[in-house]
Amino acid sequence: MLNIRLENGLRIVGEQMPHVRSVSVGLWVGVGSRAETASKNGISHFMEHMLFKGTVKRSAGQIACDMDAIGGNLNAFTTREFTCFYAKSVDSDVETVFDILADMYTGALLAEEETELERGVILEEISMYEDSPEDVAQEMLAGLVWGGDPLGYGIAGTRETVQSISGSDLRRFMEKYYTARNTVLAVAGSFEEEKIIALAERYFGDVPSGAAYTDYGTVPFCPGRRKKEKDIEQTHLAVAYPGLAQNAPERFDMAVFCGAFGGGMSSRLFQKIREEKGLAYSIYASPESFKNAGILNIYAGVSPENADLVSSLIREEIEDILQNGLSEAEIARSVSQLRASYIMGLESVSGRMQSVGRNMLLFDTVQTPKEILRGFEAVNRESVEALARRILREDWAEVRVCPLKR
């Protein structure tokens, strides 16, 4: 495992994968919507877009052409806690990947004309999300459970905040957050460690050190109810219980519980509500974890007349777990599913790059695959049920996005 720090504070982490010829490189910047103010909500996502819109060396079209010329892929995404720019290519073209990513990271023009053009693109993206009632329900749920804390802000921002972000706002934002100590360079696949270190020094060694911005306080969970009407056919039900932070000791128990409760075709919710009752096509439970915060997220898309019934059936399954627990077979199936999914994910160079980059950025450490597999294997029925009793006795937060009343 490659794990070093340049003099300016940039962390470099890498995992070599034998028998592949590709390499995935990612720049992980420690800023997302959780670091924003209410008036500039969406600026992290706006900045993600702008790094593709031209640099001192390349136009937006040249960035795309130079990556296509090596047959590579270039993309980015923004979350509540970080922004990631990543590329994948064959191993012989890794220097070109470094050149393009470094050019975007250090040389973005943030030109006013491009800012105005991209503002329109982002407003269209917000419209796309608004047309997805499941996304609307999940955003409403985040806003409810985090009680006004920035953790509950929408990643893309609102129409009003996006309209208010100026080129000077973006330049100040870049100067503050796009710094060496607030960034991790992650690599996975086929590479030579000495070459990666030399490329990092060449392309990122002069990045200003700055400060790190990935420390967040705890955020209390807020139960409650919210409802919104839209011109849709289904009711989208999103429910949350208090969950766990990303590095909580019981995180493996949480993953196993969610798998048994609502994570697969054999799970409680899928079998009861979809297979036995025929009340939903999509229903699941999953953990959402952040630094010092987290929720258990339950979602179902149902006919409006069945929404109360499905909500009641979810409650019944929760009560049954509280009273009678989960079976050994349910626990074993969930552990097997998670182990298999993780092992198969190890075969993806992009997946490994994302895993090591995210963990190094947020926690300054990376667990080895052996350590993660041992974490799943240590889970047992008693530890899962103890966690379930702890979180499921709390009141839940519930959001419904419903069809318009006619």
Q: pLDDT tens-digit profile of 168-191?
A: 999 999 999 999 999 999 999 999
Last residue of a domain, one of 204, 238, 267: 204
Provide the pLDDT confidence category of residue 405 given band limits of 50, 70 and 90. confident
93-114 confidence digits (pLDDT tens): 999 999 999 999 999 999 999 9
Residue 219 included in any domain: no
| Confidence tier at 375 by pLDDT (50, 70, 90) | very high
Alpha-carbon span 240 to 246, nearest angstrom: 16
Residue 152's CATH number: 3.30.830.10
402/406 Cα distance (integer angstroms): 12
The three-state DSSP-derived secondary structure of 140-175 is HHHHHHCCCCHHHCCCCCCHHHHHHCCHHHHHHHHH
Token readout for 359 is: 């963990």
Q: Per-residue pLDDT tens for 58-93? A: 999 999 999 999 999 999 999 999 999 999 999 999
Q: How many of the other CB atoms lie within 10 Å of CB of 251?
A: 18
Query: 268 and 322: one domain?
Result: yes
Q: Taking phi first (over 0 means left), then psi (-120 to 50 degrees means alpha), and beta for anything else, what does residue 302 get?
A: beta
According to DSSP, the residues that pair with 241 across neighbouring strands are 296
Output the pLDDT for position 18.
87
What's the pLDDT tens digit per position in 221-252?
Answer: 999 999 999 999 999 999 999 999 999 999 99
Token code pair at residue 292: 């010092």
* 124 burial type by CB count under 10 A (0-12 exposed, 13-18 middle, 19+ buried): exposed
pLDDT at site 393: 85
What's the whole-model pTM score?
0.95
The total number of structural domains in the chain stands at 2
pLDDT-derived band at 378 (thresholds 50, 70, 90) equals: very high
* Annotation marks residue 139 as catalytic: no
Task: Establish how many alpha carbons lie within 13 A of residue 3's alpha carbon, considering only the half-sphere containing its beta carbon.
Answer: 11
Does 210 fall in a domain?
no
Q: How confident is the model at residue 163 (pLDDT cuts 50, 70, 90)?
A: very high
- Considering the domain architecture, whether residues 97 and 234 belong to the same structural domain is answered as no
Residue 323 belongs to a domain: yes
Question: Based on the domain organization, do 197 and 53 belong to the same domain?
Answer: yes
Active-site residue, from 15, 36, 48, 330:
48
Q: 209 in a domain, yes or no? A: no
Whole-angstrom Cα distance, residue 47 to residue 170? 7
Residue 81 structural domain: 2-204
Task: Check whether 406 has a pLDDT greater than 80.
Answer: no
Structure tokens at 174: 């870049």
Which pLDDT score is estimated for 187?
A: 98
Q: 192 and 104: one domain?
A: yes
Residue 217 lies in a domain: no
Is the separation of the CB atoms in 195 and 94 below 8 Å? Answer: yes
| Strands 11-16 vs 183-189: parallel, antiparallel or unpaired | parallel
Distance of alpha carbon 106 from alpha carbon 11, whole angstroms: 16
- In 3D space, the residue among 257, 269, 274, 391 whose CA is nearest the CA of residue 337 turns out to be 257
Q: Phi and psi (nearest 5°) for 74?
A: -135, 130
The radius of gyration computed from the CA coordinates of the chain, to the nearest angstrom, equals: 22
CA distance linking residue 298 with residue 311, whole number of Å = 10
264 and 188 inside one domain? no
Same domain for 80 and 140? yes
Decide if 187 is inside a domain. Answer: yes
Residue 297 has pLDDT above 80, yes or no: yes
From 204, 236, 262, the end of a domain falls on 204
Q: Are strands 224-230 and 397-403 parallel, antiparallel or unpaired?
A: parallel
Same domain, 62 and 186: yes
Q: Do 154 and 231 belong together in one domain?
A: no
Residues 181 and 242 in one domain: no
User: Over the chain, what is the mean pLDDT?
Assistant: 96
Domain check: are 397 and 323 in the same one?
A: yes
